[in-house]
Amino acid sequence: MNFLEKLLAAARTNESLLCIGLDPDPELMPGVSVIEFNKRIIDATSDLVCAYKPNLAFYEAMGIEGLKALEKTVAYIPKTVPIIGDAKRGDIGNTARAYAKALFETFGFDAATVNPYLGYDSIQPFIEYKEKGVFILCRTSNVGSAHFQALQLSEPSIPLFEMVAQRAKEWNIYGNVGLVVGATYPEELMRVRHLCPDMPLLIPGIGAQKGDLAGAIRYGVDEKGERAIISSSRQIIYASKGEDFAAVAREEALKLRGQINLYLGGCPKS
């Protein structure tokens, strides 16, 4: 089963487009270890998600122990739920091959986020893992993304993020390429979905960044109401700093999944 098949299977089984970011921050976590924190979040929410998305920065910041916790976290997640390694890698070909091997073979992620700034040869090593998903940064959710991504090109006369989407479509020869487009920019999301009707879209920015959930669903899903991954991290995993953090995380995940499904016109499980 390749990444897209695994994603669609999880989304259909759990009636969910929700992806939870597993981003452990010692300043926000209750007094438990990283692996204990992640395990309890996973136990509480694995029937409510279509994917998990660990951001590698939080683990790398803890050094070797953080990377060990990441390895254990990936191993703990149910095999039916895809894992997106949020690494935003992008480098010259030789280094890119090492990054791709690290993410897909060493850590075993089902998909990874990559930065297209260095061009195709920096992304090709990831794409060549045909069974893995490759999410190219396109129109990211942060305010500063406009400094480059919204710049208007002279030839053709389109913003840079649209050129990224067009290139990604050309590079999608194995059907394993997707795009990262923030829920904070619903109009741009609509344009990207129009350009790439069949690609999976990873849509961050819901929750702490106050992205437009209704717009994310309306413009992010494909014609079947699928292939959109609505990502939320802090809103769910840090809803409580107490001993009840996992139970409260489940409540928040249920609430957000319910809102997503209402916008889809569906009815979530209780």
- What pLDDT, on a 0 to 100 scale, did the predictor assign at position 268? 37
- What pLDDT, on a 0 to 100 scale, did the predictor assign at position 142? 78
User: In order of start, what are the domains of the chain with their CATH numbers?
Assistant: 3-264 (3.20.20.70)
Question: Dihedral through CA 90, CA 96, CA 100, CA 101, nearest 10?
Answer: -150
Residue of 88, 101, 169, 255 marked active site: 88
Angle between helices 186-195 and 213-220 (to 10 degrees): 10
Location of structure tokens 């194995």 = 174
- What pLDDT, on a 0 to 100 scale, did the predictor assign at position 269? 38
Burial of 267 (0-12, 13-18, 19+ CB in 10 A): exposed
- What pLDDT, on a 0 to 100 scale, did the predictor assign at position 267? 33
**Helix, strand or coil, per DSSP, at residue 46:** coil
Helix (H) or strand (E) holding 184: none
- What pLDDT, on a 0 to 100 scale, did the predictor assign at position 208? 67
- What pLDDT, on a 0 to 100 scale, did the predictor assign at position 270? 33
Residues of the chain with pLDDT under 50: 266-270
- What pLDDT, on a 0 to 100 scale, did the predictor assign at position 155? 79
Per residue in 162-198, pLDDT (tens digit) is: 999 999 999 999 999 999 999 998 999 999 999 999 9
- For the question of residue 132 being annotated catalytic, the response is no
- What pLDDT, on a 0 to 100 scale, did the predictor assign at position 93? 87
